[in-house]
Amino acid sequence: MHPQTQLRVHLRWMIRRDLPEVLRIEQESFEFPWTEEEFYRCLRQRNCIGMVAECENRVVGYMVYELCKTRIHLLNFAVAPEHRRRGVGLQMIQKLVGKLSAQGRTRIVLEVRETNLPAQLFFRACQFRAVAVLRNYYADTPEDAYLMQYRYRSERQISSGETTPMRRLAG
């Protein structure tokens, strides 16, 4: 089996015209997808931002995140099934990591369903760590969620191999 070629994407703000493609990806990606109204309600809030990954004038991935004082909260994130494992998700995460700094927002947080192993493995490969278990987190199922977090590291920390100590939280 040949590895798929990496896909270079253009990341830009999500606009209303993108919603049909975003909803298609959402429905193909999740058992309990967001509705069009949920996207609109979230994106109408002034601290929520939607971005899409575009390739050849087609939306191939998207993310919705909330800018908080000290962190970025990733609310929704998906790549079209036919474009997965080609670097699209990594490029989107790198865009978010680029928004972190030692003085401002220092971490990215997200919740992932306990049954969504592909997402857990993807975020772990992007240096996110599970820091807590959120019991009965979802309204649609009694399922738990893992709270995953990425912490900002300065160039000095990266080049010297320093790591930020992480506390392990019991679930």
Confidence of residue 2 (pLDDT cuts 50, 70, 90): very low
pLDDT tens profile 69-104:
999 999 999 999 999 999 999 999 999 999 999 999
Using the predicted structure, report yes or no on whether residue 155 has a pLDDT greater than 60.
yes
Q: What is the number of structural domains in the chain? A: 1
Phi, psi of 136 (to 5 degrees): 45, 45
- Give a yes or no: residue 63 inside a domain: yes
Segments forming the whole domain that contains residue 40: 10-160
Within a domain: residue 166? Answer: no
Among 147, 81, 137, residue whose Cα is nearest residue 112? 147
Q: Is 65 contained in some domain?
A: yes
Q: Cα separation of 120 and 112, whole Å?
A: 7
Looking up residue 55, the CATH number of its domain turns out to be 3.40.630.30
Q: CB of 52 within 8 A of CB of 61?
A: yes
| pLDDT, mean over the chain | 90
Tell me the pTM. 0.87
Query: What is the Cα–Cα distance from 131 to 146, expressed in whole angstroms?
Result: 7
Q: pLDDT tens digit string along 156-168?
A: 555 555 544 444 4
**Number of neighbouring beta carbons within 10 Å of residue 13:** 9
